[in-house]
Amino acid sequence: MRQPFFCSREVSSSRKRWRTVFVNGVGMCGGCVEKEYPNRGNICLENGSFLLNFTGCAVCSKRDFMLITNKSLKEEDGEEIVTYDPDLCKNCHHVIARHEYTFSIMDEFQEYTMLCLLCGKAEDTISILPDDPRQMTLLF
């Protein structure tokens, strides 16, 4: 398998400037996505890729499925953090984005977050109780 690489040069045929974004020392390509970090509301994906936001690989110009690589799972202070490079071009191994998903339990709620150049940013909180206390109405 070839090594992944990052883009940071100009594409002469389309006159589109590739933009490399660095997050925690990892380069991500803004030239391969329709919109960088789209707001996904409360849709937090533990794995997968948001293909509707993928315009095609800025290096090989192909729009194909992506490979999930470098997946890691860490637990810090009761918080589960899943990170991976899901958005690796299947054809040329160009790194498009790094996906980070977190899960934690705070009091009576499960909290989820997602941050990815391709998949977007999202947060969600779900009650672990049968009846969500936020949904309860006061009875007098």
Among 95, 98, 99, 118, which Cα is nearest to 6's? 95
Taking the CA atoms of the chain, what radius of gyration do you get in angstroms? 18
pLDDT bracket for residue 26 (50, 70, 90): very low
**Does the model's pTM come out above 0.75?**
no
- Give the pLDDT of residue 122: 95
Is the distance from CB of 75 to CB of 86 less than 8 angstroms? no
In the chain the domains, ranked by start, together with CATH numbers, are 20-127 (2.60.40.4240)
Spatial distance between the Cα atoms of 39 and 135, rounded to a whole number of angstroms: 25
